[in-house]
Amino acid sequence: MTLDQLQTQFEAFKTKKLALDMSRGKPSAAQLDLSNELLDIVTSKDYLSSQGAETRNYGGLDGLPETKELFKNFLEVSSVEEVVVGGNASLTIMHDIISRGITHGMCDSELAWGKQTIKFICPVPGYDRHFSICQHFGIEMIPVACNENGPDMDQVEQLVANDASIKGIWIVPKYSNPTGLSCSDEVVDRLSSMKTAANDFRIFWDNAYAVHHLSEDKDVLKNILTSCKAAGNDNRPFILCSTSKITFAGAGVSAVGGSVANMDWYRGHLFFSTIGPDKLNQVRHNRFFKNIEGLHKHMEKHAALLKPRFEKTLSILETELGGTGLATWTKPNGGYFISLDVPNGCAKRVVALAGEAGVKLTGAGATYPDKKDPNDSNIRLAPSCPTVNEIEQAMQIVCLATKIAAVEVDIVKDSVLS
């Protein structure tokens, strides 16, 4: 097919004046409906905690006992002392912990992070909001390639062993944003046991997709806190999660887990900023899930909605780009994203072309620190929100745009494309 022919196809799509969005890792309306019972489950007749505690008044700095118990099981930590329940977003907890690191340091810091030059390792491609936090606090970001098992550990180990200013690493361990892939047991063990020049090194273990499987084919990871403890690095991980993509995004419950020393440090800090998070919303969530098994059961309903969307995305990629050598993509068992790599120098062009044809994609580069993808090749696809039919159209446009961009930069001769 010639460039002319590709462009004719493309113009045909443009005349449809589509408005499709594969840019955001948002639950669809159908997914939100799965949790509507949350809105009816606490009433004026019935608002006490399961233990009879008043939920309408002050108190409960780190969560209701029953909510801590639920998140203990979610975070897979060993006691409720290793849990702090937060507000509606784990992003807020992550920002908060780093902000307090900047002003005060961690529980084992000799000096507040703000009083020194500090660096974080940023596996790439990764989550833009993690990188934004670093940028905001002037934390230097060191990109390290993320492969199918997690970050390149040879590189990570060498970096942290030799530079005491490296204080942290961002990890989305399961169904990572944007690759959808998970850390192998070896990576978990190496992260847990590696020698760090900094005494106060932290892993920000953002387990945002901990229970977000697409099918029975589930990724199972080694327990990061157990591994860190076994290596004598008890205070290394902060484990983050929320129900934003389980119940309601923005009206869910978040939590952080880690060693008692880390959690006591955080509770000590929280005293200055809050009397406690919204307990009524905690009760709603406890009643809705009943227990961790109930939460897992609930996730199967999400999977039923997400799986066909992922399958459609992958099938169009395979049909349109399979065998062309123009692109590679991940095939996740869970999460919210598929990571697509187009020829170097083409990602921005593909996103722009798709936009012209009415398909909104995450900005090219967003998955890299400072929004700069050095290869300009990575594109994050978010199939959760559009319908399967919309995905079919959107992905055909994305694939066509990939072919056009590749021909434009002479990656392939147009005649090669069928």
User: Which of 260, 223, 386, 376 is CA-nearest to residue 312?
Assistant: 386
CB 232 within 8 A of CB 49: no
Based on the shown chain and the rule CB under 8 A, indicate whether residue 23 belongs to the binding site for a second copy: no
**C-alpha span between 267 and 156 (Å, rounded):** 30
Least distance CB 321 / a second copy (angstroms): 30
Q: Please list every residue from 374 through 403 that binds a second copy, using CB under 8 A.
A: none
Q: Is 65 in the site for a second copy (CB under 8 A)?
A: no
β-strands 166-171, 202-206 pairing: parallel
Q: How far is the CB of 107 from a second copy (least distance, A)?
A: 15
Contact status, residue 383 vs residue 42, Cβ threshold 8 Å: no
Instruction: Yes or no: say if 377 and 304 are a contact pair by the CB < 8 Å rule.
Output: no
281 touches a second copy (CB under 8 A): yes
Does residue 3 touch a second copy according to CB under 8 A?
no
Nearest to 266, CA basis, from 89, 95, 122: 95
Whether the Cβ atoms of residue 10 and residue 357 lie closer than 8 Å to each other: yes
CB of 40 to a second copy, least distance (A): 5
Q: Which amino acid is at 50?
A: S
The Cα–Cα gap between 347 and 353 comes to: 10
Minimum CB separation of residue 109 from a second copy in Å reads 15
Binding-site member from 21, 81, 96, 108 for a second copy (CB under 8 A): 96
- Using alpha carbons, select from 206, 253, 207 the residue that is nearest to residue 88: 253
Which of 1, 18, 26, 222 is close enough to bind a second copy by CB under 8 A?
26
Is residue 416 within 8 A of residue 364, CB to CB? The reply is no
127-166 positions binding a second copy, by CB under 8 A: 129, 132-133, 136-137
Among 234, 278, 392, 408, indicate the residue that binds a second copy (CB under 8 A): 278
Least separation in angstroms between residue 228's CB and a second copy is: 26
Backbone angle region of 416, left / alpha / beta, with phi > 0 → left and psi within -120 to 50 → alpha: alpha
Q: Footprint of a second copy on residues 252-271 (CB under 8 A)? A: 271
Q: What is the largest CA-CA distance in the chain?
A: 72
Per CB under 8 A, the list member of 6, 23, 27, 379 interacting with a second copy is: 27
- Using the contact rule CB under 8 A, the part of the chain among 91-99, 195-203, 226-234, 310-318 near a second copy is 91-99
Contact region with a second copy (CB under 8 A), list: 150-158, 168-176, 242-250, 360-368? 242-250
Q: CA distances (Å), 55 to each of 49, 64, 68, 149, 228, in order?
A: 7, 9, 15, 43, 36
CB 283 within 8 A of CB 42: yes
- Please give the structure tokens belonging to residue 155: 């590189």
30 in contact with a second copy (CB under 8 A): no
Inter-residue contact 156 to 107 (CB < 8 Å): no
Is residue 57 a contact point for a second copy (CB under 8 A)? yes
54 binds a second copy (CB under 8 A): yes
Minimum distance from CB of 115 to a second copy (Å)? 9
Residue 99 as a binder of a second copy (CB under 8 A): the answer is yes
Q: Which two tokens stand for residue 130?
A: 């993690």
Among 55, 67, 179, 313, binds a second copy (CB under 8 A): 55
Residue (10 or 248) nearer to a second copy, CB: 248
Positive or negative, the CA dihedral 389, 210, 181, 367 is positive
Q: Which residue lies nearer to a second copy by CB, 24 or 229?
A: 24
Residue pair 319/379 in contact by the 8 Å Cβ criterion: no
Interface region with a second copy, contact rule CB under 8 A, candidates 35-43, 167-175, 200-208, 360-368: 35-43
Question: What residue ranges bind a second copy (CB under 8 A)?
Answer: 24, 26-27, 29, 32, 35-40, 42-44, 47, 54-60, 87-89, 91-92, 95-96, 99-100, 102-103, 114, 129, 132-133, 136-137, 244, 248-251, 271-281
